[in-house]
Amino acid sequence: MASSLHRFANPNRFMRLSGAVLPWAAVITAILFPIGLYLALFASPPDYQQGETVRIMYVHVPAAWMALFVYTTMAVASAVALIWRHPVADIAARAASPLGAGFTFIALATGALWGQPMWGTWWVWDARLTSVLILFFLYLGHMALFDAFDDPTKGARAAAILALVGAVNVPIIHYSVEWWNTLHQPASILRDGGPSIAASMLWPLFIMAFAFKAYFVTFLLVRMRSDITAAKLRALRRTQVEGAGMSAATPAAAEADRA
Amino acid sequence: MTRKKRRLYAVIAGLATLGIAAALVLNAFEDNLVFFFSPTELAARELAPGQVIRVGGLVEEDSVERLDDGLTVTFKVTDTAKTLPIRFTGVLPDLFREGQGIVAEGTLGPDGVFVARDVLAKHDETYMPPEVADALKEAGHWEGDEP
């Protein structure tokens, strides 16, 4: 495993690979979102109980899935960064957390908007809602911790440990609705006996889920690439400053610089 | 053992310890993590007078009655084993109906009637268009909450 991961550890190789994937991910995002939103908000049927309010599901559920998916991605990247010290893994974890925080915020906000008309409350402190709020704070803590040290490698290491510790929360969120009585209903898709959503509603939901995933891949790559480019720029500037210092001392070096 | 191996084992051991610790803590705080008790669980508990708790279950068929003041509603909540009478004054959520899952927050009176100060509706994990629900009901395959 370590040797196969090493192939991606090289930032130059990552830039080539991600440069090839990025346009496809962007195009898929741009195609899937309009289709998914049209199916979800206009073409899909209302629910027998919830009526038109059920349309919040098509944003809420994919966002909540992504909140967990991005955190898992971040935790795996953090583990790779801690154990094998791959620089690209640190960059991936750093790039993922604001995106995950965004998805978690969307899930919390749409959940509140959905809870008010259906449950009769914006917010309750049940196990599901509380554990997702903790997930949101974990993302914010990860973002803050990354930049809390003067030495960036120290910040990356502290953030990676936080990401791994917080990973305990991921199964708790998923199983909270089964382990404890909650106001939030149990899972509709990942359940024994198959999905309990009619096919006419399941398709728009899946298209939205893929749109969210493509969006995540697109912006994860954009953020990682800009991070690597910024690091290269910093390194280049440093060598230039050093080069300038030397060129004053030796005319030969200045000549080499001009050339 | 190489450094990488050592770090790998340290991370695995750390996560395992953390997982066990989390499981023990969550087990110990089970009572504080549940959002509501069922009528059966409620009957088995010692409650301090005036203690505010939440109870949840299905609204029993033909149990909803509106009192003369037009605001107070009485109904029974059941977990199919035990039933609890509830009195509530206020606006019920849209999804409230007989057969629907609800959660009521309030106190258990000395007369055995649960006085709710807040009623929330639960909805289940089933989503379908109204036509499908009607077709299922007609075919006699209905397992949902409405008769």
Q: Chain B residues with CB inside 8 Å of A2's CB?
A: 4
Whether B95 sits inside 8 A of A50 (CB atoms) is yes
Confidence of residue B146 (pLDDT cuts 50, 70, 90): very low
Q: Chain A residues with CB inside 8 Å of B35's CB?
A: 124-127, 180-183
Q: Chain A residues with CB inside 8 Å of B131's CB?
A: 45
Confidence of residue B100 (pLDDT cuts 50, 70, 90): confident
Delimit the domains of chain A by residue range. 28-184+196-230
B59 min Cα distance to partner chain A (Å): 15
- What pLDDT, on a 0 to 100 scale, did the predictor assign at position A259? 47
Whether A127 sits inside 8 A of B129 (CB atoms) is no
> b or e along A201-214 (b: 16 or more beta carbons within 10 Å of the residue's beta carbon)?
bbbbbbbbbbbbbb
How many residues are there in chain A? 259
Among A19-33, A40-54, A166-180, B122-136, which stretch is predicted with the lowest mean pLDDT? B122-136
Q: Give tens-digit pLDDT for A94-138.
A: 999 999 999 999 999 999 999 998 888 999 999 999 999 999 999
- What pLDDT, on a 0 to 100 scale, did the predictor assign at position A250? 52
Residue A34 burial (C-beta neighbours within 10 Å; 0-12, 13-18, 19+): exposed
Q: Give tens-digit pLDDT for B68-83.
A: 887 899 999 998 888 9
For A11-151, where are the alpha helices, taking DSSP H only? 11-38, 57-84, 87-118, 127-146
B121 min Cα distance to partner chain A (Å): 4
- What pLDDT, on a 0 to 100 scale, did the predictor assign at position A258? 52
Q: What DSSP assignment string belongs to A123-151?
A: ----HHHHHHHHHHHHHHHHHHHHTSSSS
**ipTM of this predicted complex?**
0.84
- What pLDDT, on a 0 to 100 scale, did the predictor assign at position A2? 47
Among A62-71, A213-222, A242-251, which stretch is predicted with the lowest mean pLDDT? A242-251
More confident residue, A256 or B25: B25
Q: Rounded distance, CA B119 to CA B127, Å? A: 23
Mean predicted lDDT score pLDDT of chain A? 89
A181, pLDDT greater than 90: no
Mean predicted lDDT score pLDDT of chain B? 86
Sign of CA dihedral A47, A49, A52, A58: negative
Out of A2, A84, A182, whose CB is closest to B35? Answer: A182
CATH topology of domain A28-184+196-230: Four Helix Bundle (Hemerythrin (Met), subunit A) (1.20.120)
Out of A2, A118, A164, whose CB is closest to B95? Answer: A118
- What pLDDT, on a 0 to 100 scale, did the predictor assign at position A6? 55
Q: Testing the interface with A: which of B17, B98, B127, B131 to mutate, by most A Cβ within 10 A? A: B127
Q: Chain B residues with CB inside 8 Å of A188's CB?
A: 125-127
